[in-house]
Amino acid sequence: MGVVKIPSFCLALLVAGVVPGSRSVVAEDRATEAARLTEDGRLVKPADYREWVWLSSGLGMTYGPAAPAPGQNPSFDNVFVNPRSYRAFIESGQWPEGTIFVLEIRSSVSKGSINRDGHYQAGLRAIEAEVKKDGKWTFYGFEGENESAKAIPRTASCYGCHATNGAVDNTFVQFYPTLLEVARAKGTLKPGVTE
């Protein structure tokens, strides 16, 4: 499996960005979909992101440390967003303050049960997040069973790549077909990035 140059999030820094940290929460919100940060600025993994709004999944789009090892099957990437921000995007074609994306990377299986040729999803390989706060996006990488992750440094290449190539704001709406239609209708696509 080759390394593919397609950042959904900044996977290149996934491993470097993850160390165990404090669980104490200073910015807690009762709504489970609000970003929760620990005293030392780590993002608490949203417990219920699998019940958030799923935007899309791709296969074979991961790169960097989260890319499959040679001989491994390609990974699926699953993208979720908090429901309140999803509904705001449907209305406006833009991401409001407080938006949280969660990217889940899973291995694929091509032979199992009655499936013989297609690819379906299996074990978790990585979880990442991207949060919009004070108008700025910040990336976080969770590893294994870690329940919080520190921010990936702003010098990382993911920040510039998302800002330049994301179809709307910092996000790859060009890969989320239903949101791409919304952004087209609302006129919020960045010029030239969807071709």
Interface with its own copies by CB under 8 A: which residues?
A: 2, 4-7, 50-51, 53-54, 56-62, 74, 76, 78, 80, 83, 86, 106, 108, 112-124, 165, 167, 172, 174-178, 193-195
157 contacts: CB under 8 Å, gap ≥ 6: 10, 12
- What CA–CA distance (Å, rounded) separates 18 from 1? 25
Q: How far is the CB of 173 from its own copies (least distance, A)?
A: 10
Decide whether 52 or 139 has the Cβ nearer to its own copies: 52
In the complex with its own copies, the residue whose CB is nearer, 6 or 156, is 6
Nearest distance from C-beta of residue 146 to its own copies, angstroms? 18
Q: Is the dihedral of CA 75, 47, 101, 17 positive or negative?
A: negative
Q: What is the DSSP letter of 81?
A: E
DSSP 175: G
Work out how close the CB of 56 gets to its own copies at its nearest, in angstroms, rounded to a whole number: 5
**Under a CB-based contact definition with an 8 Å cutoff, are residues 148 and 22 in contact?**
yes
At closest approach, how far in Å is the CB of 111 from its own copies?
A: 11
Q: To the nearest whole angstrom, how small is the minimum distance from the Cβ of residue 1 to its own copies?
A: 9
- Given the complex with its own copies, which of 21 and 101 has the nearer CB atom? 101
| CB closer to its own copies out of 57 and 146 | 57
Residue 169: alpha-carbon gap to chain centroid: 14
- Centre a 10 Å sphere on the Cβ of residue 59 and count the other Cβ atoms it contains: 14
> Nearer to its own copies by C-beta: 134 or 185?
185
Confirm if 85 and 100 have CB atoms less than 8 A apart: yes
